[in-house]
Structure 1
C-alpha cells in the first residue's frame, strides 16, 4: 500500500500521546493536517485506527498490532537518518586498521588522537602484525585499511605506495655527528643494526655498501626500524632507517644525518578492492598521508 512516512509518524504520535493536538505539536503541523493524515491512513489500511475512551484516543486492537511494525519501520528510518548524518558530517563509524608493529607504537597513535578529536562518534580498532597477516586480513575484508611494507601486489586489494626517505642514525656524541652527510665509507668501522636479511630494504642497503666496496659489519638483525632506533639510542651501534621512525626517536638524543646513496623505504596503504567505501576510512587515510608527507621522497626510477 502507498503509505506515506508522514502518515506513519502521525499514527505513532497519536498512539503515544493519545491526542491529535499533542501529536500535531510534536510533528510541528496543524491539527487538521494530522486529522487528514489519519483519515487517509485509515482508509488505506481498511480499518479504524483509534477509538476515544475518557477523552483519550486509544489504538484499536488491529491498530495495536500495526503499531509495533510502524514503530520498527520508523526506528529504522531514524537510524538511516543518523547514519546519513554520520557519513556526510564524518562524525560516526568504526575503522579497523592493520599495521606494522612499529607504526602502532610511534606515528599512528598521534595521528589517531588528532583524527578522533574532531570525530567523537568514531571508534577504531588498531591491530599490529607482520606484513603477511596484514595482507591476509585485507584480502578477507576483515580490516578497512592496512599499512605495510614489502607489498608486491594482489588483485583483491587496492594499494598506494609511499616512498619514505631514509637516514643514518648514530648514538649521541658519536664522532661522525660533525659530518653533514653519511656514506657507507664513513660506516666501515661501525657495528650496524639493520633490518632482516630477506627484506627488500636490506638488499638496497647491502648493495650500497657493496658498490662502495665497504664491509657491512652486522651486529643485530631486526624486523622493525623502531627496534634499531632504541638500540642506537642506547649506544649499541649505527643504523640506516626510515626518516619517519628516526624523527619519532629524535628526542632520545640520537644523531640523525642524511645517507648517500639515497635509499627509500617503500610502505603501502592497502584497502580491499571490493566492498563499501567508507568516507571515514578515506578521511583517516588522508590524515595518515598528511602526517607522512614531510618525509616522502620521489619514487625511485624503475630499473
Structure 2
C-alpha cells in the first residue's frame, strides 16, 4: 500500500513530467523526490516512469496505475477529513441524515427537546433526497436517519421506527389560479410549473398511481419537477411567482401561510408519506439514545 508521500510524489511527477518541477511543487529536494518515487515503484511492483534527462514520462503500467492512484488519493483525503471530524468531536455530537421533508417536521422538535436535557449537545444534520441511508448508517457516517425507508430491505443490524403517515401538501401564491376551487384534482396541480426536492423512484411510482396509473400519468410524472432542489428555503422563496406550485410538509409553508402571501391547495386524491427513523442496532451512545427518544416521543 502506498503511503501519502510516495503517492503524492507519483501523482505530482505524473502531472509535471519533470523531476525538478515536481520536487519544487512538493517542497522537497530532487533526491527526496527520487526516493519517494522509488518507494512507490517498490510498493506497486513495477516501473512507473521512463527515466530521461530533464523529463520523466509514464510507462504503460504507470499510465494504467494513474487512475488507481487518483482514486486512492481521493479516498485518503476523505479518510483524513473523517478523522479530523472525530478529533474535533467531544463525544456529544450526533450525526443525522434526513430527507428534505423532515427537518422542520421532526428534526427541529427532536433537537429542541434534546437540548433541554443536554444543553451542550452538538448535532450535525445532512439533508439530501439522494442519500443512501442504510449504507451510511452501517459505515458510521451518520447515527440516525429520518425519511422514507418503507421500501428498504430488512437488515439485521438496523433498528427502524415508524411514524404516523403524513399528508404531503401543495402550496402556491394567493393569486395562483388553483385557489379558485375549494378542492382541485391532483392532476391539475401538475399542469403548472412544479418545484420540489428530488423525486426518487418510489415517489414517482406513488404519484403515477395517484394520477391513475396510466402511461399518460407516468409520462406526466417523468417530466417532474420543473425546478428541483433539496433546499426548501430556496423552494419557498419561489412562491412569490403566482404561476408556481411547491410540494412539501405543512410546517414548511407555515410562516408564509401566516403572512397571507401563500395558501395551501387541497387536492383529491391526497398524497401521504411514510416516515421512518433508523439507527444502527446496539449503538449504546447516550447522545444518540437521547435524540432517538425525542423522535420516539413525536410518534403520537
Question: Match of 2:152?
Answer: 152
Find the counterpart in structure 1 of residue 136 from structure 2: 137
Shift of 1:109: 4.2
TM superposition shift of 1:165: 0.9
SS at match of 1:193: strand
What pairs up with 1:209-228 in 2 under 5 angstroms?
Answer: 209-210=211-212, 218=224, 220-222=226-228, 224=230, 226=232, 228=235
Q: Distance in 1 between matches of 2:187 and 2:226?
A: 20
Query: 1:290, 1:113 → 2: CA distance?
Result: 12
**Contact 2:97–2:127 (CA<8 Å) still a contact in 1?**
yes
Q: Distance in 2 between matches of 1:184 and 1:130?
A: 22
Contact 1:182–1:259, Cα closer than 8 Å, also in 2: yes
> How many residues of Structure 1 are paired with residues of Structure 2 in the alignment?
201
1:245 has 2:252 as partner: yes
Within-5 A mapping of 1:93-172:
93-101=92-100, 103-104=102-103, 108-109=107-108, 111-150=110-149, 151-155=151-155, 156-162=157-163, 163-172=165-174
Query: What is the Cα deviation at residue 228 of structure 1?
Result: 4.3
Work out the CA distance in 2 between the residues paired with 1:289 and 1:138: 18
Match of 2:242 in 1: 235
**Which protein, 1 or 2, shows the higher relative CO under an 8 Å CA cutoff with sep ≥ 6?**
2
Residue 205 of structure 1 deviates from its aligned partner by: 1.9
Matches within 5 A, 1:186-225: 186-187=188-189, 189-196=191-198, 198-210=200-212, 218=224, 220-222=226-228, 224=230
Cα gap change, 1:141/1:198 in structure 2, threshold over 3 Å: closer, same or farther? closer
Task: Give me the TM-score of the superposition, normalised by structure 2.
Answer: 0.53
Partner residue, 1:264 = 272
Distance 2:198 2:133 in 1: 18
Q: Once the two structures are superposed, what CA deviation does each residue of 1:213-261 show, in whole Å capped at 9, x if it has no partner?
A: 7766746152538254443344351244333434465356321133221
Q: Mark the runs of 5 or more structure 2 residues left unpaired by the alignment.
A: 1-90
Larger radius of gyration: 1
Deviates more, 1:153-162 or 1:128-137: 128-137
Secondary structure at the aligned position of 2:268 is classed as: coil
Query: Cα distance 1:292–1:190, how it changes in 2: closer, same or farther (>3 A)?
Result: farther
Structure 1: 5+ residue runs without aligned partners? 1-91, 294-303
- What is the SS of the residue equivalent to 2:282? coil
Measured on the aligned residues, the alpha-carbon RMSD in Å equals 3.6
Runs of 4+ in 1 over 6 A off after TM superposition: none
Distance 1:229 1:166 in 2: 15
Distance 2:283 2:110 in 1: 25
Cα deviation for residue 291 of structure 1 reads 5.2
Structure 2 contact 167–272 (Cα < 8 Å) conserved:
yes
Q: Is the 8 A contact 1:192 1:238 kept in 2?
A: yes
Is the 8 Å Cα contact of residues 165 and 263 (structure 1) preserved in structure 2?
A: yes
Q: Name whichever of 214-223 and 254-263 sits farther off.
A: 214-223
